[in-house]
A and B are shown apart, each in its own frame.
Chain A
């Protein structure tokens, strides 16, 4: 007898089903997607025992005729696809014709359906290899599928399922994704007779996010969209809601991506999403968001995996580019200025000590004061259209306010700083006045109706970062060669990182040459960079590369390098006394930055307090 033989249809069915139906959540996905494809307006999902015992999906879609119902449970039976060419122009979620058949191969399925036009419905019973039973039945228009005893005939797979709670959570996560993809459809989810959510039809994504993810999740999300030019040029659209940079998680959960309204899991998309935030996010933190990409159907392949959770783009680079720039430009336009929240004063709190005792520093007269010329006012290149919208414009004009200080008190600042050199006006008419420095940590700025507290170190780092970044973009860094070069050694992995970064390092003004074996020689550095810090910089770059923290796009590398260089350049430190001129120069150049509100490590550079807020503290309202 031949040792090789064809498998019987039942085994084939179970193997195939294993690819599509991995766990209860996969059943939900197949069934709800069928309902969506059937044009349902209301979908009701009920599960029991983590979806293993029972899953019910009921919809009010177009239903099926008795003949279709019988065909539907057979493999590769579909209404959604006729020929292979259609595979590349898919507009429906399903198309493989495997869903129902696969479920039926591993569970007991009862399907009841009625077309709105017919008077009588039909019920189909199918379970494993048992013969299909068909009978007429009374039914509302639409289709109801009941799946019981999942994996009843494949005990090994059943053994691999997690606890009912865990499987139920995965179902919930799946339904959240599906609910987000179609705000216009009502989706109800009941778990062991407890209503988890009832997402009513919504006009907006924001409403849907609130309904399924909760108010807290939805609060403060920023709308993002690809610029019209970019969309028109690439044919790729992008829109969605994302978390502001000060809200993030330490995992990539909380990110929902939809490609042509299909929920997908995609590492490249997730990476690109983080890239959009760039330096606004702290290292190792991830943004939250719901993002929809519309890609021409012929340029995306969803048939990569039976569960269709992965997608392949014909032109992945462009898709990622649209995503990164859409997110970034939306964030840049958004008003990220943090408003301080004031607690009601508490009298027990008298012992609150300042975070840093500064008596010793205050005594020493030799703290260097930075040169105001170090903060040149940056002229904006006229060519860049994107920047024509300075973030400051978004600072709301305050309502008329009772004067804070009587006019005579205005001649000198609160801290005895003469007012004149610290006062200036921006082109849009906003007037700024440096009030003074607090605790050698913060610069206080009075702006129409508001008091700004500027973190001197964080904001100077932002200024340097953007200057370094600009040098990198212009590729014209001045270089100061060394008379006595510095030789250092690198591990083999670090060498690769150096080779990779060489181009950008050279653009900045570094000259690092191999010096035989593991040795390298620093022959030149940018004039503002301490030459002896160079080996450490290279080792850091290598470390980030090894940890997989650095991403592969050019822009990401440039930004990462700029942040690391900026970090090492001598900047205004906490605990440094600043002259009024230096404070003014610092705040001025900060406001000229592209993202003035966040330092390159993602921490805020300044917070604001409105006069009303302060007045409220004094019961002056």
Chain B
């Protein structure tokens, strides 16, 4: 294998691959990137057996073939090279040579035939079931951003450790996530035609974190999200990110969505967010309780940590219900407000101090956040 590639192009492609590469894997080959040169393109591939990425890279291939090498080391070397064209060449058995100007590096390579499949596949089961949706990268990125934070980092509740994907009869795409204490739902127009063909799928956290990285700062490129059996594949331009779906059923979340939307308070996002952020300073990891005392047109937000101190913030609110005192985990409040856009008017629907609350932005009823209150003293 021999190819010539511009430094900036290779650096960009290697950056995208980094997140997938296993840093401390028991399988050494997983810390390598697979570099394949075929006809007019070079493709970089990496996998941790759960998610995989394949990145096309503009290059001039002089000799077809494949090599592997330590992804992190290659990235660090390329980053430091001058912005010139560089040459990647397999040199003898088990080595790859990187040269640019007067710099030459020889790095160890595994046998590329031993490299695991980039796209994780589970057996050969129902390859036929394949659905896909095309939507702007910006929208998909937003949907991931607004659900991923509420998913559970706790792997013992496996079915919650990802984001649930569902096609709506309206043709919209819906994503739902929950860690058991709160739940985020977002719907966006996707023009899905064959709604009934869509399977229920849970996308894994790690895959979505990479997807978010891929979609960040995206203007309006089109992306394609496809489900084949147990695998989801996200394509954007020259990048293909695939991930193994989480097994198991997402819990029936419909029953926790409050039906009654009678009493609610409204307030500007920034005012409430900064108040809660300040109050959280006076809480500890083991007690994040924030008390909301809602009266006529006024909401008093307070914390009281016995060995630390207490704080109170007063907000002017529109109160469309009676008086109520309710406690929440403050972190659950700030996390949702952080992913919402600036300048929004927030409506918080509350029934009583023990029933779940519903948070929505007045401008965007297609995003809902349901949060369980906390018993605090």
Contact = CB atoms under 8 A, between A and B. Distances in A.
A531 B180 contact: yes
Contacts of A363: 23
Interface in A463-478: 464, 467, 476, 478
Interface string A369-380: 011011011110
A543 interface: no
B375 A374 contact: no
B286 A569 contact: yes
Given A486-B157, A531-B180, A533-B156, 17 more contacts: A371-B284, A373-B281, A373-B284, A374-B285, A376-B308, A378-B307, A478-B375, A478-B377, A480-B181, A480-B329, A480-B372, A480-B374, A483-B181, A483-B182, A483-B183, A484-B251, A527-B329
A515 interface: no
Contacts of A371: 284-285
A39 interface: no
B13 to A, nearest CB: 23
B372 A527 contact: no
A467 B178 contact: no
Interface string B267-289: 00000000000000101111111
Interface in B156-172: 156-157, 160
Contacts of A360: 24
23 contacts: A373-B281, A373-B285, A376-B308, A464-B286, A467-B286, A478-B287, A478-B374, A478-B376, A480-B372, A480-B374, A481-B375, A482-B372, A483-B180, A483-B256, A484-B160, A484-B178, A484-B180, A484-B183, A524-B375, A527-B287, A527-B329, A528-B286, A532-B154
Interface string A506-535: 000100000000000000101110111100
A376 B284 contact: yes
A366 to B, nearest CB: 9
Interface residues on A, range: 20 to 34
Q: Identify whether the interface residues of B are mostly helix, strand, loop, or mixed.
A: loop
Q: What 8 A-B pairs come out closest when comparing CB atoms?
A: A528-B286, A479-B375, A532-B156, A376-B307, A374-B285, A483-B372, A376-B308, A484-B180
B128 to A, nearest CB: 33
Contacts of A478: 287, 289, 327, 374-377
A484 B288 CA distance: 20
A552 interface: no
Interface size class of B (residues with CB under 8 A): 35 or more
Given A376-B307, A569-B286, A479 B180 contact: no
Among A373, A478, A480, A530, the one with the most B-chain Cβ atoms within 10 Å of its Cβ is: A480
A589 B229 CA distance: 53
A364 interface: yes
B196 to A, nearest CB: 26
Contacts, number: 90
Best-buried of B23, B178, B286, B329 by chain A (most CB within 10 Å): B286
Nearest to B253: A484
B370 interface: yes
User: Which of A378, A484, A526, A527 is most buried by chain B, counting CB atoms within 10 A of its CB?
Assistant: A484
Given A364-B23, A373-B308, A483 B286 contact: no
B286 A527 contact: yes
B373 interface: yes
A370 B180 contact: no
Contacts of A528: 285-287
B305 interface: yes
Nearest to A378: B307
B122 interface: no
Contacts of B354: 481
A483 B373 CA distance: 9
Contacts of B251: 484
A290 B347 CA distance: 69
Given A377-B307, A531-B180, A532-B156, A481 B373 contact: yes
Nearest to B251: A484
A373 B356 CA distance: 29
B22 to A, nearest CB: 12
Nearest to A570: B285
Nearest to B332: A480
Interface string B323-351: 00001010000000000000000000000
A374 B180 contact: no
B286 A530 contact: no
A364 B24 contact: yes
Interface in A536-569: 569
B375 A509 contact: yes
Contacts of B286: 374, 464, 467, 526-528, 569
Contacts of B375: 478-481, 509, 524
Nearest to B370: A483
B191 to A, nearest CB: 31
Contacts of B307: 376-379
Interface in A311-336: none
Nearest to A531: B180
Contacts of A374: 284-286
A538 to B, nearest CB: 15
Contacts of B376: 478
Contacts of A479: 374-375
B288 A527 contact: yes
A482 B284 contact: no
Contacts of B253: 484
A478 B287 CA distance: 7
Interface core residue of B156, B157, B373, B375 (most chain A CB under 10 Å): B375
Contacts of B182: 483
Interface string A444-480: 0000000000000000000010010000000010111
Nearest to B356: A483
Contact of B180 (A378, A464, A486): A486
Contacts of A364: 23-24
Nearest to B152: A532
A377 B154 CA distance: 30
Contacts of B256: 483-484
A531 B160 CA distance: 12
Nearest to A530: B154
B1 to A, nearest CB: 30
Interface string A171-200: 000000000000000000000000000000
A567 B372 CA distance: 26
Interface in B309-331: 327, 329
Contacts of A378: 307
Contacts of B356: 483
Nearest to B371: A483
A527 B289 contact: yes
B277 to A, nearest CB: 14
Contacts of B374: 478-481, 527
Contacts of B327: 478
